[in-house]
C-alpha cells in the first residue's frame, strides 16, 4: 500500500523568503475605537438591539442580521473578567521565553466580546478564571490610538486606599 520514500534527515536545501510589506487601515469602526481609546481611555462598542449583541471589537454591521450599526455606538469601561488564560513558554519561532508570559482572553463587561492581552502585576500561579481585571493604559499624552495604548490587564483593586495621615 505504501510507496517507499527517501527519508533524508539532512536533505539539501535552498534559502528563500517571500518579502512583502503592508499598510493596513483600521476601518471605519476600528478608527473610532482607537480614537475613543486615545482620547477618553474607554472602549467604543456597537450594539445590535435586535440580536442583543454588543460587539467588541466594534463592527459597522451586525454579522448575524446585517443591520447597519453605524449609529449604534456606546462606550464601556475598559474592565472585564479573565475568561481563560495561558502561560506562554515559547515565542513564535519556538525559542524559550524567560520569564514565561501570562496571556489572557478578557471578556469585557457589558459586551459580548473581549480582547486578548498580557496579564500584568501578578504571578502566573495567582491567575484565576473569572477574576476581575482592568486594562492598564498608557498615560493619555503617550497614547497613539493603537493596540499599544493597552499595556495589558491587571487585577482590579478593591477600593482606592486613602493615604494614612
Q: Which residues bind another protein (CB under 8 A)?
A: 1-3, 5-9, 11, 16, 18, 22, 24, 26-27, 30, 55, 57, 63, 83-94, 100, 103-105, 107, 112-118, 124, 129, 146-148
Residue 51, binding choice from Zn ion, another protein, none, Cβ under 5 to 8 Å by partner class: Zn ion
Q: Which grid cell sits at 114?
A: 473581549
Choose, by CB under 5 A, the member of 42, 67, 120, 131 that binds Zn ion: 67
Examine residue 60 and tell whether it contacts Zn ion (CB under 5 A). Answer: no
Residue 126, binding choice from Zn ion, another protein, none, Cβ under 5 to 8 Å by partner class: none
Examine residue 45 and tell whether it contacts Zn ion (CB under 5 A). Answer: no
Respond yes or no on whether the N-terminal peptide bond of residue 99 is cis (omega within 30° of 0). Answer: yes
Listed in sequence order, the residues at least 6 apart from 153 whose beta carbon sits closer than 8 Å to its beta carbon are: 80, 82, 104, 106, 117, 118, 119, 120, 133, 134, 135, 136
Nearest distance, CB of residue 160 and another protein, angstroms: 29
CB 134 within 8 A of CB 29: no
Residue 29: Cβ within 10 Å count: 20
Residue 62, binding choice from another protein, Zn ion, none, Cβ under 5 to 8 Å by partner class: Zn ion
Q: Segment near Zn ion (CB under 5 A), from 64-72, 87-95, 135-143, 154-162?
A: 64-72
Examine residue 127 and tell whether it contacts Zn ion (CB under 5 A). Answer: no
Separation of alpha carbons 31 and 74, rounded Å? 15
Strand partners of residue 81: 107, 132
Q: Segment near Zn ion (CB under 5 A), from 66-74, 79-87, 100-108, 117-125?
A: 66-74
Separation of alpha carbons 111 and 114, rounded Å? 7
Separation of alpha carbons 143 and 149, rounded Å? 5
Examine residue 82 and tell whether it contacts Zn ion (CB under 5 A). Answer: no
Amino acid at each position: 500500500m505504501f510507496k517507499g520514500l527517501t527519508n533524508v534527515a539532512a536533505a539539501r536545501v535552498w534559502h528563500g523568503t517571500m518579502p512583502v510589506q503592508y499598510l493596513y487601515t483600521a476601518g471605519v469602526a476600528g478608527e473610532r475605537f482607537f480614537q475613543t481609546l486615545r482620547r477618553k481611555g474607554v472602549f467604543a462598542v456597537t450594539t445590535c438591539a435586535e440580536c442583543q449583541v454588543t460587539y467588541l471589537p466594534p463592527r459597522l454591521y451586525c454579522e448575524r442580521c446585517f443591520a447597519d450599526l453605524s449609529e449604534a455606538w456606546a462606550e464601556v469601561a475598559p474592565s472585564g473578567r479573565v475568561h481563560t488564560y495561558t502561560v506562554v513558554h515559547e515565542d513564535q519561532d519556538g525559542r524559550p521565553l524567560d520569564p514565561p508570559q501570562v496571556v489572557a482572553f478578557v471578556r469585557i463587561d457589558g459586551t459580548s466580546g473581549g480582547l486578548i492581552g498580557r496579564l500584568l502585576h501578578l504571578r502566573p500561579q495567582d491567575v484565576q478564571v473569572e477574576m476581575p481585571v482592568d486594562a492598564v493604559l498608557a498615560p493619555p499624552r503617550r497614547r497613539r490610538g493603537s493596540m499599544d495604548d493597552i499595556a495589558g490587564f491587571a487585577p482590579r483593586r478593591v477600593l482606592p486606599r486613602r493615604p494614612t495621615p
